[in-house]
Structure 1
Amino acid sequence: MITIQKKDNLIIVAVIGEFTLADYNEFEQQVLYQSHSDGKTNLLFDWRDMLDYTVDVAWEEVKFMRDHGSEFNRVAVVTDDEWQTWGAWVFNLFIHANVTTFHDYEEAEIWASETE
Protein backbone atom coordinates (compact mmCIF):
# COMPACT_ATOMS: atom_id res chain seq x y z
CA MET A 1 0.00 0.00 0.00
CA ILE A 2 1.19 3.53 -0.71
CA THR A 3 0.18 7.03 0.28
CA ILE A 4 1.10 10.06 -1.78
CA GLN A 5 0.83 13.67 -0.72
CA LYS A 6 2.16 16.95 -2.05
CA LYS A 7 3.56 19.83 0.03
CA ASP A 8 4.64 22.79 -2.08
CA ASN A 9 7.53 21.49 -4.24
CA LEU A 10 7.75 18.14 -2.42
CA ILE A 11 5.97 14.88 -3.26
CA ILE A 12 5.96 12.46 -0.30
CA VAL A 13 5.50 8.75 -1.02
CA ALA A 14 5.12 6.35 1.92
CA VAL A 15 5.11 2.60 1.34
CA ILE A 16 3.41 0.39 3.92
CA GLY A 17 3.75 -3.39 3.73
CA GLU A 18 4.55 -4.95 0.37
CA PHE A 19 5.21 -2.60 -2.56
CA THR A 20 3.33 -4.22 -5.46
CA LEU A 21 3.20 -3.45 -9.16
CA ALA A 22 -0.32 -2.01 -8.74
CA ASP A 23 1.04 0.35 -6.05
CA TYR A 24 3.92 1.30 -8.30
CA ASN A 25 1.61 2.09 -11.20
CA GLU A 26 -0.40 4.38 -8.90
CA PHE A 27 2.83 6.03 -7.75
CA GLU A 28 4.04 6.60 -11.29
CA GLN A 29 0.73 8.02 -12.50
CA GLN A 30 0.27 10.41 -9.56
CA VAL A 31 3.89 11.56 -9.32
CA LEU A 32 4.16 12.28 -13.03
CA TYR A 33 0.89 14.22 -12.96
CA GLN A 34 1.87 16.24 -9.88
CA SER A 35 5.44 16.90 -10.98
CA HIS A 36 4.46 18.06 -14.47
CA SER A 37 1.99 20.57 -13.13
CA ASP A 38 4.68 22.61 -11.36
CA GLY A 39 7.95 21.91 -13.17
CA LYS A 40 10.83 20.35 -11.23
CA THR A 41 9.92 18.97 -7.84
CA ASN A 42 11.57 16.96 -5.08
CA LEU A 43 10.66 13.45 -3.92
CA LEU A 44 10.64 11.96 -0.45
CA PHE A 45 10.32 8.17 -0.22
CA ASP A 46 9.41 6.89 3.24
CA TRP A 47 10.36 3.22 3.21
CA ARG A 48 10.46 2.69 6.98
CA ASP A 49 7.28 0.56 6.93
CA MET A 50 7.97 -1.21 3.63
CA LEU A 51 8.26 -4.93 4.27
CA ASP A 52 9.07 -6.14 0.77
CA TYR A 53 8.75 -5.37 -2.91
CA THR A 54 8.33 -7.52 -5.97
CA VAL A 55 10.98 -7.90 -8.68
CA ASP A 56 8.75 -6.23 -11.26
CA VAL A 57 8.57 -3.16 -9.01
CA ALA A 58 12.36 -2.95 -8.87
CA TRP A 59 12.54 -3.11 -12.67
CA GLU A 60 9.81 -0.46 -13.10
CA GLU A 61 11.61 1.77 -10.62
CA VAL A 62 14.82 1.62 -12.64
CA LYS A 63 12.93 2.42 -15.86
CA PHE A 64 11.05 5.31 -14.21
CA MET A 65 14.20 6.90 -12.85
CA ARG A 66 15.99 6.48 -16.17
CA ASP A 67 13.12 8.10 -18.07
CA HIS A 68 12.07 10.78 -15.56
CA GLY A 69 14.96 11.25 -13.14
CA SER A 70 16.00 14.56 -14.64
CA GLU A 71 12.59 16.00 -13.71
CA PHE A 72 13.48 16.07 -9.99
CA ASN A 73 15.96 18.19 -8.04
CA ARG A 74 16.29 16.12 -4.88
CA VAL A 75 15.26 12.61 -3.90
CA ALA A 76 15.29 11.70 -0.20
CA VAL A 77 14.88 8.11 0.97
CA VAL A 78 14.06 7.38 4.60
CA THR A 79 15.03 3.85 5.60
CA ASP A 80 16.97 1.81 8.12
CA ASP A 81 17.38 -1.12 5.73
CA GLU A 82 20.83 -1.67 4.21
CA TRP A 83 19.48 -3.08 0.92
CA GLN A 84 17.11 -0.16 0.46
CA THR A 85 20.00 2.23 1.10
CA TRP A 86 21.99 0.42 -1.57
CA GLY A 87 18.99 0.63 -3.92
CA ALA A 88 18.82 4.38 -3.38
CA TRP A 89 22.48 4.60 -4.34
CA VAL A 90 21.64 2.79 -7.60
CA PHE A 91 19.20 5.65 -8.39
CA ASN A 92 22.24 7.86 -8.82
CA LEU A 93 23.28 5.84 -11.86
CA PHE A 94 20.10 6.77 -13.73
CA ILE A 95 19.21 10.31 -12.70
CA HIS A 96 20.66 13.79 -12.42
CA ALA A 97 18.92 14.57 -9.11
CA ASN A 98 20.70 14.65 -5.78
CA VAL A 99 19.75 11.39 -4.00
CA THR A 100 20.38 11.06 -0.26
CA THR A 101 19.31 8.47 2.32
CA PHE A 102 18.23 9.31 5.85
CA HIS A 103 17.32 7.48 9.04
CA ASP A 104 15.37 10.46 10.42
CA TYR A 105 12.13 11.44 8.66
CA GLU A 106 12.08 15.07 9.79
CA GLU A 107 15.66 15.61 8.63
CA ALA A 108 14.82 14.08 5.24
CA GLU A 109 11.72 16.26 4.83
CA ILE A 110 13.64 19.45 5.65
CA TRP A 111 16.41 18.54 3.18
CA ALA A 112 14.00 17.49 0.44
CA SER A 113 11.89 20.64 0.85
CA GLU A 114 14.82 22.92 0.05
CA THR A 115 15.01 24.42 -3.40
CA GLU A 116 18.27 24.67 -5.29
Structure 2
Amino acid sequence: MLQKINLEQENLIAAKISGKLTEQDMRKLHPLIHNIIEKGHKVDFYFEMEDFEGYTLKGFWEDLKIDSAHLGDYGKMAFVGNRKWQEWAAKATDFFTKSEVKYFDIKYKEQAMAWVSTKG
Protein backbone atom coordinates (compact mmCIF):
# COMPACT_ATOMS: atom_id res chain seq x y z
CA MET A 1 0.00 0.00 0.00
CA LEU A 2 1.16 3.49 -0.82
CA GLN A 3 0.00 6.44 1.29
CA LYS A 4 1.04 9.88 0.04
CA ILE A 5 2.58 12.28 2.57
CA ASN A 6 2.23 15.98 1.84
CA LEU A 7 5.52 17.73 2.57
CA GLU A 8 4.50 20.79 0.52
CA GLN A 9 7.44 20.77 -1.84
CA GLU A 10 6.51 20.96 -5.51
CA ASN A 11 9.23 18.61 -6.78
CA LEU A 12 8.96 15.98 -4.02
CA ILE A 13 6.88 12.82 -3.93
CA ALA A 14 6.70 11.54 -0.37
CA ALA A 15 4.90 8.39 0.71
CA LYS A 16 4.65 5.76 3.40
CA ILE A 17 4.75 2.29 1.92
CA SER A 18 3.67 -0.89 3.64
CA GLY A 19 2.68 -4.40 2.72
CA LYS A 20 3.25 -5.11 -0.98
CA LEU A 21 3.19 -2.45 -3.67
CA THR A 22 0.74 -3.27 -6.43
CA GLU A 23 0.36 -2.22 -10.03
CA GLN A 24 -2.39 0.19 -8.89
CA ASP A 25 -0.04 1.76 -6.32
CA MET A 26 2.57 2.36 -9.01
CA ARG A 27 -0.01 3.83 -11.39
CA LYS A 28 -0.91 6.40 -8.70
CA LEU A 29 2.70 7.63 -8.75
CA HIS A 30 3.06 8.03 -12.50
CA PRO A 31 0.84 11.15 -12.89
CA LEU A 32 2.60 12.75 -9.91
CA ILE A 33 5.95 12.22 -11.66
CA HIS A 34 4.61 13.78 -14.87
CA ASN A 35 3.21 16.82 -13.02
CA ILE A 36 6.65 17.61 -11.58
CA ILE A 37 8.50 17.01 -14.86
CA GLU A 38 6.07 19.27 -16.74
CA LYS A 39 7.03 22.11 -14.36
CA GLY A 40 10.67 21.65 -15.38
CA HIS A 41 11.89 20.00 -12.18
CA LYS A 42 13.71 16.79 -11.34
CA VAL A 43 11.57 14.48 -9.20
CA ASP A 44 12.78 13.84 -5.65
CA PHE A 45 11.40 10.96 -3.58
CA TYR A 46 10.98 10.25 0.13
CA PHE A 47 9.81 6.70 0.88
CA GLU A 48 9.16 5.69 4.46
CA MET A 49 8.95 1.90 4.60
CA GLU A 50 6.85 0.50 7.43
CA ASP A 51 6.18 -3.24 7.36
CA PHE A 52 7.08 -3.10 3.67
CA GLU A 53 7.24 -6.56 2.09
CA GLY A 54 8.18 -5.67 -1.49
CA TYR A 55 6.05 -5.82 -4.63
CA THR A 56 3.47 -7.97 -6.26
CA LEU A 57 4.80 -9.24 -9.60
CA LYS A 58 2.64 -6.78 -11.56
CA GLY A 59 3.63 -3.98 -9.17
CA PHE A 60 7.32 -4.68 -9.72
CA TRP A 61 6.85 -4.77 -13.49
CA GLU A 62 4.95 -1.46 -13.46
CA ASP A 63 7.70 0.14 -11.32
CA LEU A 64 10.36 -1.03 -13.79
CA LYS A 65 8.41 0.43 -16.72
CA ILE A 66 7.95 3.79 -15.00
CA ASP A 67 11.56 3.99 -13.85
CA SER A 68 13.00 3.04 -17.23
CA ALA A 69 10.91 5.79 -18.84
CA HIS A 70 12.02 8.43 -16.32
CA LEU A 71 15.54 7.57 -15.15
CA GLY A 72 16.91 10.93 -16.28
CA ASP A 73 14.05 12.78 -14.56
CA TYR A 74 14.85 11.73 -10.99
CA GLY A 75 16.82 13.74 -8.46
CA LYS A 76 17.33 12.66 -4.85
CA MET A 77 15.80 9.53 -3.35
CA ALA A 78 15.57 8.98 0.40
CA PHE A 79 14.61 5.49 1.55
CA VAL A 80 13.72 5.20 5.23
CA GLY A 81 13.29 1.81 6.85
CA ASN A 82 14.37 -0.62 9.51
CA ARG A 83 15.48 -3.75 7.66
CA LYS A 84 18.84 -4.66 6.18
CA TRP A 85 17.31 -5.80 2.87
CA GLN A 86 15.74 -2.33 2.49
CA GLU A 87 19.20 -0.78 2.79
CA TRP A 88 20.47 -3.20 0.13
CA ALA A 89 17.55 -2.32 -2.15
CA ALA A 90 18.41 1.38 -1.79
CA LYS A 91 22.04 0.63 -2.70
CA ALA A 92 20.87 -1.34 -5.75
CA THR A 93 18.69 1.60 -6.79
CA ASP A 94 21.70 3.89 -6.46
CA PHE A 95 23.70 1.58 -8.72
CA PHE A 96 21.08 1.60 -11.50
CA THR A 97 20.18 5.29 -11.53
CA LYS A 98 21.91 8.62 -11.95
CA SER A 99 20.02 9.83 -8.89
CA GLU A 100 21.53 10.54 -5.52
CA VAL A 101 20.15 7.75 -3.31
CA LYS A 102 20.50 7.40 0.46
CA TYR A 103 19.11 4.95 2.98
CA PHE A 104 18.22 6.13 6.49
CA ASP A 105 17.23 4.06 9.50
CA ILE A 106 13.70 4.94 10.65
CA LYS A 107 15.06 6.68 13.75
CA TYR A 108 16.70 9.23 11.39
CA LYS A 109 13.62 10.02 9.30
CA GLU A 110 13.80 13.75 10.14
CA GLN A 111 17.35 13.83 8.75
CA ALA A 112 16.12 11.99 5.65
CA MET A 113 13.40 14.60 5.10
CA ALA A 114 15.91 17.41 5.56
CA TRP A 115 18.41 15.78 3.19
CA VAL A 116 15.92 15.16 0.38
CA SER A 117 14.54 18.70 0.76
CA THR A 118 17.97 20.34 0.43
CA LYS A 119 18.96 21.49 -3.03
CA GLY A 120 22.45 21.06 -4.32
> TM-score with structure 1 length normalisation?
0.82
Instruction: Answer yes or no: is the 8 Å Cα contact 2:81–2:104 preserved in 1.
Output: yes
Q: Are the structure 2 counterparts of residues 68 and 88 from structure 1 closer, same or farther at C-alpha, using a change threshold of 3 Å?
A: same
Matched-pair contact (CA < 8 Å) for 1:66–1:95: no
Gaps of 5+ in 2: none
Report the secondary structure of 2:47's partner residue: strand
SS in 2 for 1:92: helix
Structure 1 residues without counterparts, runs of 5 or longer: none
Task: Report the Cα offset of residue 6 of structure 1.
Answer: 4.9
Alignment deviations for residues 16-72 of structure 1 (CA, whole Å, 9 cap, x no partner): 333211111112222332343341131111112424421222233233223212212
Number of positions where the alignment pairs a residue of Structure 1 with one of Structure 2: 116
Q: Secondary structure at the match of 1:75?
A: strand
Root-mean-square deviation (CA, aligned residues, Å) is 2.0
Q: Compute the TM-score of the two structures, normalised by the length of structure 2.
A: 0.80
Contact 1:65 1:91 in 2 (8 A): no
Partner of 1:17: 19
Q: Which residue number in structure 2 is paired with residue 113 of structure 1?
A: 117
Q: Counterparts of 2:82 and 2:29 in 1: how far apart (Å)?
A: 22
